[in-house]
Amino acid sequence: MFEFKQTTHLQRKRTLIRACVAGLVAIALFGILGARLWYLQVVRYEGLAARADQNRIAVVPITPRRGEILDRNGVVLARNYRDYTLSVVPAKIGEPINDMLDRLGQLVHLSPRDRRLFTRAAEQSSRYAEILLRSNVNEEEASWFATRSYEFPGVSLQARWVREYPEGESAAHVIGYVGRISEADRNRLEESGELGNYRGTQVIGKKGIEKTWEAQLHGRTGVEEVEVAASGRPVRSLDRVDPVPGSNLRLSLDINLQKIAEAEFAGRRGALVAIEPATGEILALVSAPSFDPNLFIDGIDVENWRKLNESPDHPLINRPLYGTYPIGSTYKPFVALAALELNKRKAGDRFPDPGYYEFGGQRFRNAGGAVYGPTDMHRALVVSSDTYFYSLGPEIGVDNLHDFMKPFGFGQVTGIDLDGERQGILPSTDWKRRAFAKQPAQQRWYAGESISVAVGQGYNSFTLLQLAQATSTLANNGLYMTPHLVSQVVNPYTDQILETVRVSTHTIPLKSEHVQLVKQAMKGVIQHGTARRAFAGAPYQAAGKTGTAQVFSLRGAKYNASAIDERLRDHALFMAYAPADNPQIAVALIAENAGWGGAVAAPIARKVFDYWLVDRPELKSAPVLEQDVIAETEEVAAP
C-alpha cells in the first residue's frame, strides 16, 4: 500500500516537472516570437515598410508632351498627337513568343515588319525589358485588346505622344526630326544626369532644331504611384506628380518664303540662306533636295533608308551648313573692300584688262574670254572682271586677305543654333603648313596661288551660311549679328515669352567711304551688270554680285558645258541684299552644276526678294497710319 502511494507521488512529480519544462519552453518560444515581432515591427520597420511598398506600389513615369515648333507667323512645323503602343516584357509571357504573337495578331494587326523588329529587339535586350511591339495602334484596335488584355500577361497597352511634321519635306533640315533613343543617347543622357528625366520616353531629337533645343522641347517627366495587386493589376492611384510639357519654339523662319525658295530649286541641287541683317534672324534656309522627317519618328524602314542614304544627290546633307564650296566671284566685293582698307589700290586706279592676267609665264583668263580694257574697281565689280581681281591677289597677299576676311565669318563657325556646321577653309600660309604637314614639299605658299584665291577659287572653301552671313554683315556696314533660328521660347502653361535676344558680337572697323563705294558697285551689278536681266522691272533697288565657281580645273581648255559631265559643270552663285539703302533681307545661294550665276542663281534671289519686300501678306494687310502719310508727303515735297 505504501509502495503504491510512493509510485503515484513520483508520477505526479514527474508530470509536474514535465509541465513546468514544457511551460518554460513555450514561454521561451513565445518570447523569441515576440522579440522577433518587435524586431521586425519596430527595429526594421522603416526598411521593411519601404520594401513592402515597393512590392505593393508601382511608380509609373508620365511622359511629357513635347513642345511644338512654329514659324514666325505661328504656322505649326512640328506638333504632337496621341496614339497607342503595344509593348511586351518577354519574361512575363509564359508561352513561346511566336505563339503569343499569333494569338495577339488575331486582335491587333501585326505586320511582318512589326514582328521582325520586335524579334530583333528581343534578342538584343534583357528578358525583363519592355520592348515595343507595335506603334500607331488606333482606337478600335486598342478597345479590342483592352477587353481581352487578361489573356496576354506581359503585354501592355500604353498611350503616348507622337511627333508629326505637317509640312513634310519643307524646312526638314531646319526642323530636323526625332527618333528612338539609342544606346549612345542613353550614355549621353546618363553622363549629363538627365537619364531619369527620360523614363518612359521613347524618342529624342536627332537632327536640326529638335536636337539642338532638346532640353527646352522635352519638358520634365511626371510620375504616378499606383497600388497594384499581387497579379500586377492596378488597384488605385496613390499619388501623382504631373509632367511639365516642353516649351514651344517660335522660329524666325517664314514657311511661305521657305516654300517659295524651295520651289525654285525643284529638280536642282543647291542651297539658299536668307537673313534679316538687323537681327541676324534666319528667314529661309533651303537645302535641296530634301527629305520627309516623318519617316524617322518610329525608325525608318530599310527601303526608304537605302533610297536616302545611297542617293547621289545626298538629300540628308544639310548643304547650307555642311556643304563647303568655292564661292567664285561672289567673293570679289570683299576682296575689293580689302584692297581699299589695306591701301593696296585706290578705287579710281585703272588696271589694264586685255582678257587675261599674266603671272610667272602663265596666263589667267577672264570667264568667257571677255576683254574689258582699262578697268577701275567699280567697273570691275559690275562686269566681274577676273583679270582685275587676279592682279589683286599677289598685291594683297594671302595672309592679309585671311586676316581681313576672318571677322566677316569666312572659314569660321558662325554659332547658329543648328548642329553639323562645318568650318570650311580660309587659306593662309599657316593653314597650308598645317594642311600639308605630311608633305613638306607642298607646305610653301606660292604667289601664284593667291591669284585664284582672290577670285573665290583655289583653296577657298566656304559654307553658304558663311557667305550669307558675310553678305548680311556687309549690308550692316560691318556690324556682325550672330545668325539664329529660334527667336522665342514660349511657356505652354503661362504663355510667358522668353526672347532669345542676340546682340552684336563685334563690329568690323571699316571706312564708310570704302563700304559705300563697294555697295554702289553692287547696285550697278543689279542695274546694268551681270544680274540686270534677273532684276529688270523690280520695284525696289537691290545690291548684289553674281558668281560662277569651277568644280574642277580646265587646265587652260575652253569651258563647254555640253561636253562635260553634269556633276562637273560650274556652280551658279549669287549674293545680294535689298533694299539697297535700307537692307531688310540678305541672301546667298548656290545652284550646283547649274552654270552662270546671273542666268540661274540671280532669278531665284529675285523671287525671294519679291515675296519678302512686295508680296508678303503682312505688307498688304498693314494699316496705313496718318503719320506715315504725313512723312511720305513731306519727303515728296522736300527739294
Catalytic residues: 329
Q: C-alpha cell of 3? A: 509502495
CA–CA distance, 616 with 583 (Å, rounded to integer): 16
Q: Provide CB contacts within 8 A for 333, sequence distance 6+.
A: 381, 474, 518, 521, 522, 545, 575
- Side-chain-side CA neighbours of residue 119 (13 Å): 13
Dihedral sign, Cα of residue 129, residue 133, residue 138, residue 144: negative
User: What is the rounded end-to-end Cα distance, in angstroms, of the chain?
Assistant: 158
CA–CA distance, 410 with 426 (Å, rounded to integer): 6
CA–CA distance, 387 with 351 (Å, rounded to integer): 9
CA–CA distance, 118 with 112 (Å, rounded to integer): 10
Q: Provide CB contacts within 8 A for 341, sequence distance 6+.
A: 404, 510, 511, 514
* DSSP tag of 367: G
CA–CA distance, 331 with 524 (Å, rounded to integer): 16
Per the CB < 8 A criterion, the answer to whether 436 and 442 are in contact is: yes
Kind and range of the H or E run holding 70: strand 69-70
CB atoms within 10 A of CB 371: 12
Dihedral sign, Cα of residue 123, residue 126, residue 127, residue 129: negative
Per the CB < 8 A criterion, the answer to whether 559 and 609 are in contact is: no
CA–CA distance, 368 with 434 (Å, rounded to integer): 36
Q: Provide CB contacts within 8 A for 52, sequence distance 6+.
A: none
Tell the residue number behind the cell numbers 522627317, with chain if given.
Answer: 293
Nearest to 547 by CA among 325, 378, 391, 342: 325
Q: Give, in degrees to the nearest 5, the angle at Cα 508 between 426 and 571.
A: 40
Q: Using DSSP, state whether 274 is helix, strand or coil.
A: strand
Measured between alpha carbons, how far is residue 624 from residues 94, 612, 615, 617, 632 in Å?
75, 18, 16, 14, 11
CB atoms within 10 A of CB 349: 13
CA–CA distance, 269 with 289 (Å, rounded to integer): 6
Nearest to 282 by CA among 214, 216, 209: 209
Amino acid (1-letter code) at residue 316 = L
Amino acid (1-letter code) at residue 250 = R
Q: Which residues pair with 178 in a beta bridge?
A: 205
In 359-503, which residue ranges form alpha helices assigned H by DSSP? Answer: 377-383, 386-396, 398-405, 429-435, 449-453, 464-475
